[in-house]
């Protein structure tokens, strides 16, 4: 029998971690990683923070790779355009096909764009997004002192870019339909406080409003808000969240409503009764930002979580599961064992370090409470749903917030 081949679609963090976990799980066959970017896997969080401030170089953000993956066949600059899940082969952009014994879907997400009138959605028109190294590089070149930046979207990435741009001497306006920056993941109390801190640093917020159009023709000159107000702009960043990269997986009856729905072994679930089978698909795993997987740590629902520790956690799970599958051990052994994940997230804005564990967004509307410290300084905020602590967030106070980490999830109770 020829050596088995695993094909990994997507050369990001999740693809890398899965390749490493396949080796750790004893898989010695061929691993081919296909990535549409020209770069070996690199760390994205610095792209809105220190790397955007200092200078965006691949060498500064590239992931260290374990020695065990030195023989992986990295095919960079190669997009996957389709897949035949029954014939087990992927189609590449040049029309060629590549067979596999097992497949890893690790294509992540891409940045969402605003579809309104104005100059084209391109960096050279002054309209930027921040997802890739090349995006960050193009943006960095325009963040010169005195430049007028308008950030559309006040989530974490939007707020981080706003903070970095202030540190670089730009003028910054931030527009969002939400009532407060980062209010969806953090709740109103913390969001109000963080808004105050951004304003103290000179960021001007325009909240509860959408964008009607971008002014300018070849290049953006301004941002027109819902009420017709126009903000002058030399540079615009669209930080409106993401769109899972599932195009290549369409047409197989998978649930692609929000990323790819999987079971707890990270197998994609075929839902379409018209397809010739229903249920989880063996020999395929979905990892990282792309995966919507059940996490019994919180409840029985499946969630897609765009946090930095998810590629590592799901990659380890997928590598172990697929290595066992390819060794002929079957799924029973691994599927039975309960597998849960604690999402972890951090954010740096000015000299503030935010550290979050769990899923604060699941909290009851009045479920947020300061557990330690005070909101105006350093603090730990707990988020509860009924009797469960579903998340904790620290502003500073790292040791304190870390101490709550193991209590987050179903059944451990809310701290007194």
Partner 1 sequence: MSLKVVVDMDVCQDHGQCVFSAPDVFQLDGEGHLVLLVEEPDESLRSACEDAADVCPVQAITIEG
Ligand X SMILES: Cc1cc2nc3c(=O)[nH]c(=O)nc-3n(C[C@H](O)[C@H](O)[C@H](O)COP(=O)(O)OP(=O)(O)OC[C@H]3O[C@@H](n4cnc5c(N)ncnc54)[C@H](O)[C@@H]3O)c2cc1C
Q: Which residues bind ligand X (CB under 6 A)?
A: 9-15, 34-37, 44-45, 47-48, 79-80, 106-109, 130-131, 157, 245, 248, 288-290, 306-308, 311, 345-347
Cβ at position 406, least distance to partner 1 in Å: 9
Site track for partner 1 across 335-374, x = CB under 8 A? ---------x-x------x-x-------------------
Q: What is the DSSP string of 21-41?
A: HHHHTT--SEEEEEESSSS--
Type and span of the H or E element at 403: helix 398-404
- Contact range with partner 1 by CB under 8 A, out of 82-90, 109-117, 306-314, 324-332: 306-314
Name the binder of 363 from partner 1, ligand X, none, CB < 5-8 A by kind.
none
Note whether 156 binds partner 1 by CB under 8 A. no
Note whether 115 binds partner 1 by CB under 8 A. no
Cβ at position 312, least distance to partner 1 in Å: 5
74, 10, 93, 18: which is closest to 44 by C-alpha? 10
Cβ at position 405, least distance to partner 1 in Å: 7
Cβ proximity to partner 1: between 51 and 80 the closer is: 51
How many of the other CB atoms lie within 10 Å of CB of 45?
A: 17
Instruction: Show the tokens assigned to 94.
Output: 């040049």
Give the Å distances, CA to CA, from 284 to 268, 269, 287, 318, 322: 7, 10, 10, 9, 8
Note whether 45 binds partner 1 by CB under 8 A. yes
Cβ at position 323, least distance to partner 1 in Å: 15
14, 9, 11, 31: which is closest to 22 by C-alpha? 31
Cβ proximity to ligand X: between 209 and 309 the closer is: 309
Torsion 202-204-205-210 (CA) sign: negative
Name the binder of 246 from ligand X, partner 1, none, CB < 5-8 A by kind.
none
Name the residue with tokens 């469960």.
388
Type and span of the H or E element at 399: helix 398-404
Pairing between β-strand 235-238 and β-strand 127-128 as defined by DSSP bridges: parallel
Q: Which stretches of the chain bind partner 1, using CB under 8 A? A: 17, 24, 43, 45-46, 63-64, 66, 308-309, 312, 344, 346, 353, 355, 398-399, 402, 405
């Amino acid at each position: 029998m020829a050596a088995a081949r695993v094909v990994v679609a997507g050369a990001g963090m999740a693809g890398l971690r899965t390749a490493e976990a396949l080796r750790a799980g004893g898989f010695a066959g061929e691993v081919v990683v296909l990535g549409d970017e020209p770069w070996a896997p690199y760390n994205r969080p610095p792209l809105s923070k220190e790397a955007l401030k200092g200078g965006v170089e691949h060498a500064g953000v590239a992931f260290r790779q374990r020695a065990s993956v030195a023989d992986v066949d990295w095919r960079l600059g190669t997009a996957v355009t389709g897949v035949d899940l029954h014939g087990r082969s992927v189609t590449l952009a040049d029309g060629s096909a590549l067979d596999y014994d097992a497949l890893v879907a690790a294509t992540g997400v891409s940045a969402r764009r605003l579809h309104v009138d104005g100059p084209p959605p391109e960096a050279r028109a002054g309209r930027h997004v921040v997802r890739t190294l090349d995006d960050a590089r193009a943006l960095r070149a325009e963040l010169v002192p005195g430049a007028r930046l308008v950030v559309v979207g006040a989530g974490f990435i939007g707020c981080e870019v706003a903070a970095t741009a202030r540190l670089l001497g730009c003028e910054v306006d931030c527009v969002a339909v939400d009532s407060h920056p980062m209010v969806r993941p953090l709740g109103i109390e913390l969001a109000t406080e963080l808004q105050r801190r951004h304003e103290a640093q000179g960021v001007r917020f325009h909240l509860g409003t959408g964008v009607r159009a971008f002014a300018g023709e070849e290049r953006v000159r301004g941002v027109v808000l819902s009420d017709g107000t126009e903000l002058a702009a030399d540079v615009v960043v669209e930080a409106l969240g993401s769109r899972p990269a599932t195009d290549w997986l369409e047409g197989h009856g998978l649930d692609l409503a929000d990323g790819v729905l999987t079971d707890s072994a990270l197998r994609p679930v075929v839902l379409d009764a018209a397809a010739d089978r229903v249920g989880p698909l063996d020999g395929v795993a979905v990892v990282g930002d792309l995966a919507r997987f059940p996490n019994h740590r919180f409840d029985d629902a499946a969630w897609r979580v765009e946090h930095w520790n998810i590629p590592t956690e799901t990659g380890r799970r997928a590598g172990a599961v697929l290595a066992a599958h390819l060794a002929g051990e079957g799924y029973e052994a691994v599927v039975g064992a309960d597998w849960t994940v604690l999402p972890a997230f951090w954010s740096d804005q000015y000299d503030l370090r935010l550290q979050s564990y769990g899923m604060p967004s699941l909290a009851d509307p009045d479920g947020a409470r300061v557990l330690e410290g005070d909101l105006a300084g350093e603090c730990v905020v707990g988020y509860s749903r009924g009797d469960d602590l579903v998340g904790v967030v620290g502003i500073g106070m790292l040791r304190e917030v870390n101490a709550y980490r193991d209590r987050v999830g179903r059944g451990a109770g809310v701290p007194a």
